[in-house]
A and B are shown apart, each in its own frame.
Chain A
Amino acid sequence: MPNTRGRVSRDSKYEYSAKLTGKVLSFKPAGDEIVATFDETTPAEPMSALRARADSAVYLAAPERGFAVLRATAAEKTSEALAAEPRVSNAIPVMLDNEGLRRYFLPDEFTVQFKDSIAPEACEALLAQLKAPVRNKQRTPGYYTVGVPVGAALFESIDKASRLPEVVFAEPSEFGIDDALQSAAATAMAIDPSRGFGLDAAPDLAASDTLAIPTDTFFGRLWGLHNTGQIVNGTAGTADSDIDAPQAWDIEQGKKHVVCAVIDTGCDLDHPDLAANLLPRGAEDWDFADGPDKSPDDSDTHGTHVAGTIAARRDGAGVVGVAPGVYIMPLRVNLTTGMNQNRADAINYVAAQAVTFSASRRYVINCSWKMNGDHAGVRNAIVNAVSKNVVVAFAAGNANVNIDITPQYPAVYPEVIAVAATDQSDRRATFSNFGTKVDISAPGVNTFSTVPNNTHGFKDGTSMASPHVAGVAALIWSRNPDLSNAQVRTILQTSAENIDAKNPGFVGKLGSGRLNAWVALLRTPPRRLPSTVIARFPFPQGNADSSTGLKFVRSFPLGLLGRRPVLTFLTQQAGSERIYFLNPSTGAVLGSIDPTANDTIGCLAWDGLSILAANVTTGAGSINRINPATGALVGSIPAPPGRGEGMDVVGARIYYSTIATIFELNRATGAVSRSFPAPEGQSKALCFGRGLLFSGQSATGRILAFNPATLVIHGFVEAPGAGVNQAEGLGFDEVNRILYVANQSENFIYALRVGGI
């Protein structure tokens, strides 16, 4: 019968040198289990032979991959006997490593990672020299699963490969164990990688979306998102032991430029709560499992549940995820008997995607799984992903142990965000691991989410906590894609709520506390909106010594010239004001008026009939209506006391700034309906457009764009030019998205084309 693996010999010592760390890794037989391999092309006969043996019992098998785990009371002796079995290729005892962790190595395979600079042909030539046949060319460039040369021993062969200068590391081919799973396939990215972040996107939220509790059927069960103390799955909680999702969603619900890679058991691709949020696969292959089944559907329930917690749709049905507006990219790995190197491939795949789409996307990885022990391939992949600006979250594990003492890999790698689980009252979940290597905690008990076949269900575990963190990372990046992954991580950790008082035995061992999405978003700095200076023209009067005002009016009655787009521009010199009407393309003066009824004007606006001018002479304040043809006073309404520095008309309202405070006034009466502090403490100019209020900030040189209903800052434009009074007047052409900025330090008007709004 065929034996493509070939017989290998037994190592004299179970140890090899880990090239990345320089440490010698020693192992000893666990004494009760064996890994046996056979030819995977004809598995039936060897499996029958293994099952027929009296000295051992098959515990689990991966016939399609050509190996099985057997239990035996005298494992080392039995493994020698198995190696002599004609239908078995090779056998090796299951090992314990120097951390006491149980390792499942294949006796006749190992993996080799070559340096990036080595061409595939050269890699394969070197492997041929080693007489190590390529069993699988991993998807990660330069990463190979190879056979131990016939007659050679496993660990000796690893050391021999490691000694090659072209090799980054070599290590045993190892698998993990859990539920039976299958595998998957895929198809093509449809998005142009050169395209920027949401340049055509609308602002975050319409005013009507403010703080709405989702109407999704089971929202009441999602205590981790919104905990009112409700009873969930038979257990009552404590109000506010949650991540404050509704408050967070008032700021950000997620955007499609963020992709959450769920490296797990797959995902129910047809689940109505998920399907619309799955990134189109196109021609991409998202199957990192070994099996022949190419469907990416979840044959388990784990991956679908995790995906739902991250990004189930906010659609009035089922559940809602932490970041319902982002994309999910389900990468299926075999978590039953899957090889660690395939998981490394999946992580490296995300890293490669993050490079390809660096201009247009941000990537978060969630991994709600563990490994048997330290693994160079997976560690290397994580380091690679993090170096490519990917956020990587891992579940801390469910063994109720201190991972500083009993490490759970990969959660203990410093590059990942290790997530512990909390219950409905912010207590550490009894099962959750803990320790200083935990980075943050998140809800992970009685977690309700999607499961395959259009259903939903409860699950417990740190597997359920980790996707909460991944979801909030996605929200942060939705709000500001300019942040680095390190900044996202810092925001996650510094915004967590301290839960030490509820966990007296675990102070310092639950990370920085329980995740809080709302605080995280409040601490996320607004993004810089892309802008380009398309024109600049000097103030018509040469300079302005104390005050300027500016507005873009699309249809302004300009006497004999008729209605046309105009920049209305106010300057003041030594108490003498003049309002000019400028061609918005060239800055040419088309006309001007002397607003004779006003001694001092702080700012101006246009209400469709009259020029509105803030009269600030007395300090008591009024807003005067001025005839646009003659400059004559035609009426006035009261204004809040203080110097009016910015003003614009929005429907029946006027937004009016007195530097530190912005008032919302009734346009007809001047009655104050609302007031709020100016964003970042100062507003020297105001204008409205595309649902946003733009506010000039001299101290920072930024023009902040915010939703006047929610006060959520959408982003900022860097004020053009130099000086300390860079944005003293603002006007906005909504159609062409051109922001006009009066720089009073330079005495120039700048025209900026603004993106991201």
Chain B
Amino acid sequence: MLARAWAVPVLFLGLIVLDGCAANGNMATKTMDNPYDVTVLVWLDEQPGGKPRLHVSAIFDPRPGGSAWKQVRLSALELQQGRQSWNPGVTAMEPRGAGFEVKAEGEPPAGMKGPLTLVASFEAADGPKRVSVPVPRFEVVQ
């Protein structure tokens, strides 16, 4: 029964985000301060038989003509919503084509409202990097 208790605010969160954002979950987002196109998707895995988990996937594709970061590693990742933030339990960074993918998962948050923003911090050969991109779509998968 308590599983329902958190499900309600998370569902609400999803509705708020969907209302406020573009519906295309694969929309690439360009930011001025990094040489990558970032495609971000956040979903809540509700497949029965296990605890629901919130997942984040952010794919960093080098932009043509951009200068890809060297020796890059993830140092922090969080989802922000207004003053609230969600920190995942597990993060990973994997090569993906010419770029890389940042993955994160953790227990679903409760009570966050409004559009989500992904904030990722990296260490690279030429110093720290910080990327902030809006989450265009929040999905529930089963």
Query: Do residues B139 and A178 form an inter-chain contact, with CB atoms below 8 A?
Result: no
Chain B residues near A431 (CB-CB < 8 A): 41, 43, 45, 55, 57, 139, 141
- List which B41-93 residues lie within 8 A (CB) of chain A: 41, 43, 45-53, 55, 57
- Beyond A234-B23, A459-B142, is A398–B47 a contact (Cβ under 8 Å)? yes
Asked if B125 is at the interface (CB within 8 A of a chain A CB), the reply is: no
Query: Do residues A302 and B43 form an inter-chain contact, with CB atoms below 8 A?
Result: no
- List which B1-45 residues lie within 8 A (CB) of chain A: 1-4, 7, 23-26, 41, 43, 45
Closest CB in chain B relative to A332 CB, distance in Å: 12
Query: Do residues A180 and B45 form an inter-chain contact, with CB atoms below 8 A?
Result: no
Query: Do residues B50 and A178 form an inter-chain contact, with CB atoms below 8 A?
Result: yes
What number of A-B contacts does a CB cutoff of 8 Å give?
111
**B3: which of A336, A369, A371 is its contact (CB, 8 Å)?**
A336
Kindly state the separation between the CA atoms of A153 and B105 in the bound complex, as whole angstroms: 34
- List which B85-123 residues lie within 8 A (CB) of chain A: 96-97, 103, 105
Chain B residues near A443 (CB-CB < 8 A): none
Chain B residues near A300 (CB-CB < 8 A): 48
Query: Do residues A179 and B46 form an inter-chain contact, with CB atoms below 8 A?
Result: yes
Query: Do residues B43 and A178 form an inter-chain contact, with CB atoms below 8 A?
Result: no
Query: Do residues B52 and A399 form an inter-chain contact, with CB atoms below 8 A?
Result: no
- List which A367-409 residues lie within 8 A (CB) of chain B: 368-372, 395, 397-401
Chain A residues near B57 (CB-CB < 8 A): 400, 430-431
Kindly state the separation between the CA atoms of A123 and B74 in the bound complex, as whole angstroms: 56
Using a Cβ–Cβ cut-off of 8 Å, how many residues does chain A contribute to the interface with B?
41
Name the CB-closest residue of A to B41.
A430
Using a Cβ–Cβ cut-off of 8 Å, how many residues does chain B contribute to the interface with A?
30
Asked if A463 is at the interface (CB within 8 A of a chain B CB), the reply is: yes
Write out, one digit per residue, whether chain A residues 159-183 have a CB within 8 A of any chain B CB (1) or not (0): 0000000000000000011111000
Kindly state the separation between the CA atoms of A265 and B51 in the bound complex, as whole angstroms: 16
Kindly state the separation between the CA atoms of A59 and B51 in the bound complex, as whole angstroms: 11
Kindly state the separation between the CA atoms of A372 and B47 in the bound complex, as whole angstroms: 12
Asked if A671 is at the interface (CB within 8 A of a chain B CB), the reply is: no
Chain B residues near A179 (CB-CB < 8 A): 3-4, 7, 46, 48
Interface core residue of B41, B53, B103, B141 (most chain A CB under 10 Å): B141
Closest CB in chain A relative to B133 CB, distance in Å: 15
Query: Do residues B49 and A180 form an inter-chain contact, with CB atoms below 8 A?
Result: no
Name the CB-closest residue of B to A444.
B141
Name the CB-closest residue of B to A460.
B141
Kindly state the separation between the CA atoms of A302 and B52 in the bound complex, as whole angstroms: 14
Query: Do residues A369 and B48 form an inter-chain contact, with CB atoms below 8 A?
Result: yes
**A177: which of B43, B51, B105, B142 is its contact (CB, 8 Å)?**
B51
Query: Do residues B47 and A430 form an inter-chain contact, with CB atoms below 8 A?
Result: no
Asked if A651 is at the interface (CB within 8 A of a chain B CB), the reply is: no
Asked if A152 is at the interface (CB within 8 A of a chain B CB), the reply is: no
Query: Do residues B24 and A235 form an inter-chain contact, with CB atoms below 8 A?
Result: yes
- List which A490-545 residues lie within 8 A (CB) of chain B: 504-505
Kindly state the separation between the CA atoms of A441 and B23 in the bound complex, as whole angstroms: 24
Name the CB-closest residue of B to A59.
B2
Closest CB in chain B relative to A398 CB, distance in Å: 4
Closest CB in chain B relative to A99 CB, distance in Å: 14
Query: Do residues A335 and B48 form an inter-chain contact, with CB atoms below 8 A?
Result: yes
Query: Do residues A398 and B142 form an inter-chain contact, with CB atoms below 8 A?
Result: yes
Chain B residues near A59 (CB-CB < 8 A): 2
Chain B residues near A58 (CB-CB < 8 A): 2
- Beyond A180-B1, A180-B3, A505-B97, is A398–B45 a contact (Cβ under 8 Å)? yes
Chain A residues near B23 (CB-CB < 8 A): 234-235
Closest CB in chain B relative to A470 CB, distance in Å: 16
**A302: which of B48, B51, B55, B96 is its contact (CB, 8 Å)?**
B48
Chain B residues near A258 (CB-CB < 8 A): none
Chain B residues near A430 (CB-CB < 8 A): 25-26, 41, 43, 57
Query: Do residues B3 and A462 form an inter-chain contact, with CB atoms below 8 A?
Result: no
Kindly state the separation between the CA atoms of A459 and B142 in the bound complex, as whole angstroms: 7
Query: Do residues B142 and A460 form an inter-chain contact, with CB atoms below 8 A?
Result: yes
Chain A residues near B45 (CB-CB < 8 A): 397-399, 431, 461
Asked if A464 is at the interface (CB within 8 A of a chain B CB), the reply is: yes
Closest CB in chain B relative to A661 CB, distance in Å: 50
- Beyond A180-B3, A400-B57, is A335–B24 a contact (Cβ under 8 Å)? no
Chain B residues near A400 (CB-CB < 8 A): 55, 57, 103
Given contacts A60-B1, A459-B141, 19 further A-B contacts (CB under 8 A): A60-B3, A61-B2, A178-B46, A179-B48, A264-B48, A265-B48, A302-B48, A335-B48, A335-B49, A336-B48, A368-B48, A371-B49, A372-B50, A398-B45, A399-B53, A400-B55, A431-B43, A431-B57, A463-B141
Contact sample, A vs B, 9 pairs, CB 8 Å cutoff = A177-B51, A336-B48, A371-B50, A397-B47, A400-B55, A431-B141, A461-B141, A461-B142, A464-B142
